[in-house]
Each structure stands twice: as structure tokens, then as C-alpha cells.
Structure 1
Amino acid sequence: MANNDHENRGSGGWTYFSSLEHGPLRSRADLFLASVNWNALLEYAAKKRNGVSCKLLPDIGLGYNHMVRIVQFSDGNQWVARLRLPSLAEGDSREDVLETTEIRKFTTICLVRQRTHIPIPKIHAIEERSDCKVKAPFMLMDCLQGNVGMDLGMSVPPMYKKAFLRGLAKIHVQLSTILLPKIGTIVAVNADGTYQQGPIPGLGGPFDTATEFFKAWADKTKFGMSDEQLREACGPYAADIIPSVSSFAKSIGKLADTLSARDHGPFPLCHGDFGLNNIIVDDKYHILGVIDWEMAFAGPWEIFGDFPLTLSIVPPAIDAPWNYNGDGSPKSADLIERFEDQKGYVEAVRQEENSNRENIHHLSEALWNLRRQQLATAMKMYQDGKVGTYSKLIDQFISNT
């Protein structure tokens, strides 16, 4: 899920917090804002810069998991303070869970900075515990003067799109070079410089094979709607759609040993929420940084090879049939453009892979393998509660095996 935390951009345009109406989200944010010891945070930041005085800018960035403030130093430098909000989900607010999440994110960022040239804001300090003087887990990092996709309507103007997709492809290919022996999160650095892997929240692990991962996903993943919500969303099509949705996870489990072209490792590092929503760009959509790594994990190539959220398309088999012509071609101009963008992205990935010394094409192969790629997209949509005829996609996969 995209956090839209605005965590590394200039302070203009942060309107989400101020525009929130009264309700659970606003109440949580107001209570958190009042509970944080902001003076302690400023003292901490000043100490990190050898006593350079600082203040908080008035703007407040707010996402699903974090509150963000800009720390302005007297010498003109700016840092971002990213503070973790209390969880809305039961069981996720335990101190050990919060601490593990922050450590996992920090370790992943260190790994990416070490092995790639992907632009990531430098972290100056991290505090994992909520019982610190600031009274919340926080991270202090460089502030990048740009905008995230949520501020830009999640779209790229045509004049900048080709260059932006090339930049996105370059980052995706660089991530494909970070290979780990198992499927799982990054939890610690070993004494020899290698990285220790741990379980994926909600799934377990680490896993030795993609088959194990897909079986765990099938056993533990629930559709992102309650039964009542699903029935209401389906309307008159409930009799067809509900069984189709209900059987999807079980089908993934049955097909687990056929879903990956590369069942054994090494496995690439998945960002977990890769797309314009977590990319910082300048006014011409040049990529300045990639943020929000807390969902990252090493995963199967098919999961890694899903299109960035910016380019994601509901698989035609799942989508409403009236969105396509009788020959299977998309009807709307927007959908036609999205398919063309996907083709352009695959080509950009191939070109970037060709320029690498290893000349390995695992990513472009995964993106272009529609049978498996669309299943990976469907798995994410299932978790997010996207209504559709999932069984048709399963039937399509089996018939083409």
C-alpha cells in the first residue's frame, strides 16, 4: 500500500493533513501530533549536526503509517523527520513489531545504497523505540526538493513520459542485481558483510524456493474485502464473481510449483510498492529519489517482474468484459495508452539490461511472460480487494501451460 508520506520533498503543497475531516484518521493524527516531544526531536537533530540550531517548519506531511516534518537548520540545510504513527491494525503496534519494521527498513536501505546507484536519501539517525525522549520511533534523513507521485495526480505528462520510464527501468534493473539466497526480508548485517534474511510479515519464511513462497501466500493471504463488502460490490454479478474470488488463493496453492520459471535462488530484491507514488521527481520528472522501503523483500522473479504501479493494468481476464472489444483489444484510449506504455517499459528494461556487464535479462523476461506476470498482478489486486473474475485468469494460465 502506498503511504504517500511526502517524506523527502520541499515543504510546499502538504495539504492532506489540514484537509482531513473529523474521523479516526484525523483523531489519530491529532493525538499523535500532541503526544510527540518536538523539542526533544530538535535537540536530537541539532546534536547530530554538532550544535547547529534548528526549527520545525509548520507544514505537516501525513501518510498511512507516518507523520513527516521538515527540520530547518540555521545554516540553510534541511532534514526530514519521519515519525511512525500508531498502527491502525491490531497486533502491529507492539513495540517489538515497530522496532523490527524500522530496523528492517534501515538495513534494506543500507543494502541498496551499498550495491547500487539508486538515489535514496541519506539517513542521519534512526530511533526504533517509541519510549525514547521524542516519544515515537523516527528517522532523520536528507530532504530532497521534489514531489512524489501522489502530489502530481499519479500521472506523467506525455512530454516527459519516455524519459521518466527510462529512469524507472534503470532503477528496476539495478534492483535486479541485488540477489539474495532466499525469499524473505533483510533484517541484519552479518559479521562477514553478508545480509541476514528474515520472515515476510504475514507470510513467514524465509523460503528456499518460489514454490514455498506461493504456497505460503495461498495459505495465509485473505481477500482485501469482507464477505459482506464483496457481496455488495458485486451487485447483480455476485453469483459469478464471489466463487471466482473465493477459489483464487486455493488455486495459487495448487499451482505453486508451476508459477515460477526460476524456482530456486538467488532471488531479486522487490521494493514492495514500486511506482510513481514512491518516486521523487523534479519539475521535469527526472527521478531524484526512491522512498518507502519498509515493504521490501527478496522475492520470486515473477513478483519482482510485475510492472510498477504506475503502469499496472487489471489483467483482461479479471476485468469487466465491456472494457474490451470482441477481438480482445482494449476499447478506451486510456487503456490503449497503458498497454503501449507497458511495451515501452519492457523495451527500456531490455536496453538497460543490455548495457549492463552481466547482460542478464531475467527482469525483461519476467515482464514479458504475460501468463505469469498477470498472475503476479492479480495476487496484489486480490490482497487489495479488487473485485474481478479471478478464476478466469487461472483457467487461462492452465490452458496455456
Structure 2
Amino acid sequence: MPTSSQGPRQLKDRVVQSRIHHERDRFIASIHESDVCRLASSYHDGDSCTFFKPPTRGSYNICYFVQFCSAGTDVERWVVRVPLAPCLALGGRNKLESEIASMKLVAEKTTIPIPKIHAYALNSSSEPLSSFIILEYVEGQKLSYTQLKTLTDEQKTRLYTSLADIHLQLRRLEFPSIGRLTCGPDGFKVSRQATTIDINMQELEGLQPSKIQAFYSDSNSLLTSANDYVTMLLEIAYNAFVEGRSSVVEDRQGEDALYHLHIFRQYAEGWINRQLDQGPFVLVHGDLEPFNLIVDDDMNVISLLDWEWSRVVPRQFFKPPLWLKNPDTTKLAYNFVYQDYLQRFDQFLAILRIREREKYGNELLSDEWAEAKVDSGFLVANALENWTDMDWFAFRYINWKCYRGLSLDERVKSFMDDDPARGVLVARKLRQGVAYNVEVGELGIAGSLSDHNDIVEAVPSCKDGPTLGDSIMRHISHWGIRKGDISLFIPSLPTFALWSAAIIIAGTSYALKMGIPRFLCRR
């Protein structure tokens, strides 16, 4: 059996995820290793090959590792990479075609290190090996989040220099529209709608974000307005909330989520730089995470893998690595965590600025990112393409920046009262969530509750009204603190002490908010 090498993101609908995973496993089981060897040999003059390590399954591909040991020649190692069609809403061929186009362009126009393409096939057949790509095998180690915490200053400088060179070159690949690349007789062009990991997951869940994309695209499936791109992503997020079966599992959660989508939309509309509506539009990797970087012992990047989610985006969506300090973007929504990230980012930016002056004689990207980092601009772009991050960003950042964390209950109530249809929607979503959880329970699938249930919730109120404990615990939840997040504040203390500290702090804060005498007399 192949080992798993999955990324961190999962489908929100556990029922759909269970079905997709069963289909994926059947798909993999239908691939015979002897067929993989024959396929590889057919592109190596018929030479026989053997496997030198077990196959590895990722979220969207399975990789087989073969080697040729012809007499009198060096050992040559290849990776036969097969897209997992059940995990790809638009199919393996569609995904692979854009990936190959991006890799060819990057190889032709830049010095970014990527694996050499030996062969590929693009077919729509249901046969598992009908679409594939054969790449050179790159010796080295995949960068890990754990390694990032233990880098020496010299290793960090080398890694940041490699990352700077990658981003500087990608920034200078500009195009006239937004979308995915294809390669034809006339060269490279943008000719398909952009597909992100998030959009792929929504499509698999039956939410049909592609219909919203089609509405905003022209007759050639092209999008040439950055403003429209943002509006489209906001519509896709709202549609995911409305149509997603697992987006609401309790009443207050639905009201909060709907309100936070609303204030995120307002914030994002103010974030848009209207002067950049017609471009520039630039190429991004689409999944530039540590697990897609092959590094040597000195932390030089020697290969950037997995270009399957590469696409052309508006300039404001061309963002730096957000994992330099903390890989969880929902935690970056805390302003103090983001400020901590910026200290690491500024180190990276200083290296990038030097490299940009040396290579291009200007500071184009350096200046753009120095401006974009203000007011958590990077996180706005990230949330727009990862819709569940919108709620966290609004809850943890916008509530504090725009409202100082005050009067959340009153603001949510006023928002709901302004339009009775919102209450009807939340009630429908709650019924849908209850039915979803029943189905999950009947199928015996783990993970029926949404991530929001990790938010600290008040103990159910007694008929005489909320207790002091209710009020304090609800006050903690207004901070957007999840149970696992308390350690961000005081990481060296044990769990009991962390909760004690949190409750004391919250109680003091609540006392100041309510007034000391009233607080002490409250029952």
C-alpha cells in the first residue's frame, strides 16, 4: 500500500469526503505496478525498470518511483505521477494540462528549479493510466514545518534567498487575464477559469462554484477584472455557506458566521486597489507550502514540486509564504500573531530586496509587499481564496480592528434584525446541519461537527438567566479563542493553568466591561 503524504486541507462535508476517499482507494487499487513499469519502460527505449521506494499518495496524485539500471550507465530515477481522478472535480486531464503548461513556461522563462518532464499523456479515458506525467526524481528532503523552527541563521538565509529568487521571477510573468495556462501551437496563454484547492473541494461537494465563475467570465471563459475576481470569490464564499450542509450545526453559530461573512465583505471591498483592476495579472504556484519544496542540507531549494494549482491572479493575490513562523492562517488572524509573523517576514523581505536590486535593478516586488503587509492585507487575499478563513479573519481581526472586540452580541442581533430573511436562512441551515449530523452518525464517520465547535462556548443557561460562568465563558468566545489556542498566549503552562489564566483574564475584562459592583452582584 502507498504511504500517505496528504496536505492539511480536507473536504468540509464528511459524507462526501468518505465517498470520495472510497472511490480514490478503488482507483488506486486498479493500478497494477507491472503496468506502471511497462509505461515507464516505453519512454526509456524499452529498458526494464524496478521500484526503488514504495509509492506515495498525496491529496491529488499517486507517485510511483522507478529506476533504470542499464549496464555501463548511471542509475536513472523517474517519478510516474498519476492524478487521482476521483479527487479532482474537473478530472485528471484538465488538471494535468494546466500543470504541464505552467511547468513548461517556468522552465523556459525562469531559472526556478523544477523537475524535468520526461513524458506525459492527456486523455479523458476512465483508465487510471490514461493521463500521467513522468518526471525526473530529485534527490533531497522535503521541507517540513518542524524544520522551520530549528533553522540556524545561515540556513534561514539560504532558504529565504531561494524563496526570494522564486517569487521575484514569478512576479515578472505577467498575462492579460486571470485563469489557468494552456500550451498550444501559438504558445502559452490563459484560456481557462482559475481553479484553487478550495474551489475544487466545493465542486466535489456539489456546491457548483463553477457556475458563479461562468457568470463573471466572458464568452472565452476569461476574466480580465481584478475587481470582478474579488466580487466573484465573495459570491462563491456566500454560496458555500448557503449550500454547504456542514456550515451550521447550532443556532448562534449560523448568526455569527453570516455576520462575519458580511463584515469580511465590507473589509475586502475596502482592501481592493481599484487602480489595479486591469492588471497586472501574474503567475502563482498555487500551493507553495513546505511539503512542495525539496531542499538540501544547507536549506537551498533544489526543486519546487506540484504545479497543479498554478494559475494567473491579480497582483494583490501574489503573496509571500504565510508559513514562515506559524503554518495556521486562522491563528495569524490574531493581530499579535500576525505581528510576530511580520518580524520573520521583514527578515525575508530584506533578503528579497537585496536580491531584487541585484537581479533587476529595482525594488518592484519589495515595495509592493512592504505596502501589502499593512492591515493584514496578505490574510485578506488568502481568505478570499480559502473561504472558511473569512470567518476566522473577521472574528479575530476585523472585530478588534474596527470594533475593539466590543458589542459583538448587539452587532449580530442588529444585523439579523435588519433583514428577517437572514433568520429564515439560519433556521434552514440549522435544520440542514442537524440532518447532516444524523447522516454522519448513521454512517459512522468521524468529524461530524464543524470546526466552530472548538470555539469556547457558554454552558447552557438556566431558566433564571445566565450565570457568572456563562457570561465569562461567552466573553472568552468573543476573543475568537479556540480551546487549542490558549497556548498561544502562555505556551509554557500546563492546560489547567492555561484555562485558569484565561478565565481570570476574561473575568477581569468582563468586570471592567460590566462595572465592578454590578459584576460582583450578578447571579
TM-score by length of 2: 0.60
Question: Closer, same or farther in 2 for the Cα pair 1:78/1:277, shift >3 Å?
Answer: same
Report whether the alignment pairs 1:295 with 2:309.
yes
Partner of 2:64: 69
Question: Closer, same or farther in 2 for the Cα pair 1:62/1:115, shift >3 Å?
Answer: same
Give the partner amino acid of 1:185. R
Instruction: Assess if the C-alpha contact under 8 Å between 1:214 and 1:252 holds in 2.
Output: no
Partner of 2:163: 168
Partner of 2:364: 361
Give the partner amino acid of 1:61. T
Q: Find the partner of 1:218 among 230, 234, 241.
A: 234
Q: Find the partner of 1:247 among 243, 257, 262.
A: 262
Q: Find the partner of 1:346 among 349, 368, 386.
A: 349
Question: Closer, same or farther in 2 for the Cα pair 1:198/1:358, shift >3 Å?
Answer: farther
Q: Find the partner of 1:387 among 358, 374, 392.
A: 392
Coordinate RMSD, CA, aligned: 3.6
Report whether the alignment pairs 1:16 with 2:4.
yes
Measure, in 2, the Cα distance between the counterparts of 1:261 and 1:313: 31
Measure, in 2, the Cα distance between the counterparts of 1:58 and 1:172: 32
Measure, in 1, the Cα distance between the counterparts of 2:402 and 2:108: 38
Measure, in 1, the Cα distance between the counterparts of 2:156 and 2:329: 21
Give the partner amino acid of 2:297. D
Equivalent residue of 1:346, what SS? helix
Measure, in 2, the Cα distance between the counterparts of 1:167 and 1:27: 39
Measure, in 2, the Cα distance between the counterparts of 1:107 and 1:35: 28
Measure, in 1, the Cα distance between the counterparts of 2:399 and 2:340: 26
Q: Find the partner of 2:100 among 101, 106, 130.
A: 106
| TM-fit CA distance, 1:318 | 4.0
Q: Find the partner of 1:281 among 276, 295, 310.
A: 295
Measure, in 2, the Cα distance between the counterparts of 1:222 and 1:306: 26
Measure, in 1, the Cα distance between the counterparts of 2:19 and 2:126: 25
Report whether the alignment pairs 1:141 with 2:103.
no
Instruction: Assess if the C-alpha contact under 8 Å between 2:95 and 2:308 holds in 1.
Output: yes
Partner of 1:155: 148
Question: Closer, same or farther in 2 for the Cα pair 1:242/1:221, shift >3 Å?
Answer: closer
Instruction: Assess if the C-alpha contact under 8 Å between 1:223 and 1:382 holds in 2.
Output: no
Aligned pair count?
A: 360
| TM-fit CA distance, 1:84 | 1.3
Partner of 2:480: none
Question: Closer, same or farther in 2 for the Cα pair 1:156/1:281, shift >3 Å?
Answer: farther
Measure, in 1, the Cα distance between the counterparts of 2:300 and 2:263: 39
Tell me which structure has the larger Cα radius of gyration.
2
Q: Find the partner of 2:277 among 259, 263, 276.
A: 263
Partner of 2:427: none
Aligned residues with identical type, % of pairs: 19
Measure, in 1, the Cα distance between the counterparts of 2:176 and 2:317: 16
Measure, in 2, the Cα distance between the counterparts of 1:172 and 1:44: 35
Measure, in 1, the Cα distance between the counterparts of 2:273 and 2:167: 21
| TM-fit CA distance, 1:356 | 2.4
Instruction: Assess if the C-alpha contact under 8 Å between 2:79 and 2:136 holds in 1.
Output: yes
Partner of 1:51: 46
Instruction: Assess if the C-alpha contact under 8 Å between 1:268 and 1:298 holds in 2.
Output: yes
Equivalent residue of 1:356, what SS? helix
- Offset from partner CA, 1:103-128 (integer Å, 9 cap, x none): 11101110111110000101111122
TM-score by length of 1: 0.76
Partner of 1:81: 80
Once the two structures are overlaid, the 10-residue window that deviates more, 236-245 or 291-300, is 236-245
Equivalent residue of 2:66, what SS? strand
Unaligned runs of 5+ in 1: 1-13
**Bigger proportion of residues as helix:** 2
| TM-fit CA distance, 1:245 | 2.8
Instruction: Assess if the C-alpha contact under 8 Å between 1:36 and 1:135 holds in 2.
Output: yes
Instruction: Assess if the C-alpha contact under 8 Å between 2:233 and 2:385 holds in 1.
Output: no
Equivalences for residues 198-213 of structure 1 within 5 A: 198-201=192-195, 202=210, 203-204=213-214, 205=217, 206-213=222-229
| TM-fit CA distance, 1:289 | 0.6
Partner of 2:115: 121
Instruction: Assess if the C-alpha contact under 8 Å between 2:181 and 2:188 holds in 1.
Output: no
- Offset from partner CA, 1:30-55 (integer Å, 9 cap, x none): 42332014323222221212122112
Higher relative contact order structure (alpha carbons within 8 Å, sequence separation ≥ 6):
1
Equivalent residue of 2:101, what SS? helix
Equivalent residue of 1:188, what SS? strand
- Offset from partner CA, 1:206-232 (integer Å, 9 cap, x none): 221211211211222358778775556
Equivalent residue of 1:59, what SS? strand
Question: Closer, same or farther in 2 for the Cα pair 1:250/1:389, shift >3 Å?
Answer: closer
Give the partner amino acid of 1:157. T
Once the two structures are overlaid, the 10-residue window that deviates more, 369-378 or 295-304, is 369-378
Measure, in 2, the Cα distance between the counterparts of 1:339 and 1:54: 48
Unaligned runs of 5+ in 2: 7-17, 196-209, 404-523
